Structure 1
Amino acid sequence: MTNAASTSAMLFESATVAALREDLAVALRAAAAYGLGEGVCNHFSVAIPEVEDKFLLNPQGLMWSEVRSQDIVLVDSDGNACAGRHEVEPSAMFIHAAVHRIAMKNVVLHTHMPYATALTLTGACALDTTLSQNAMRFHGRIAKDRHYNGLALDSSEGERIANAMVGADIAFLGNHGIVVCGERLDHAFDDLYFLERACQAEVLARSTNLPLHSVSNDLSTRTGAQIQGERLQSELFFKALKRTLP
Structure 2
Amino acid sequence: MYQPHVFTLTEDGYRGPAPSWSSGAPSLWLVDPERAAEAARLLAPKILDASELARVERLAFPADRACYTAAHVALRLLLGARQGIAPEAVRLTRERCPSCDGPHGRPATGGGTHFSLSHTRGVALLAFAGVPVGVDVERLPEARVATEVAGHLHPAEAAELAALPCEERPAAFARVWTRKEAYLKGEGTGLAGGLHREHVGTGPRPLGPPGWAVTDVAVPAGYAAAVAVGTAGRASVGGADRRK
Normalising by the residue count of structure 1, what TM-score does the alignment of the two structures yield? Answer: 0.30
The structure, 1 or 2, with the larger RCO (C-alpha pairs under 8 Å, 6+ apart) is 2
Q: Per residue, is there more helix in 1 or in 2?
A: 1
Normalising by the residue count of structure 2, what TM-score does the alignment of the two structures yield? Answer: 0.30
Q: Per residue, is there more strand in 1 or in 2?
A: 2
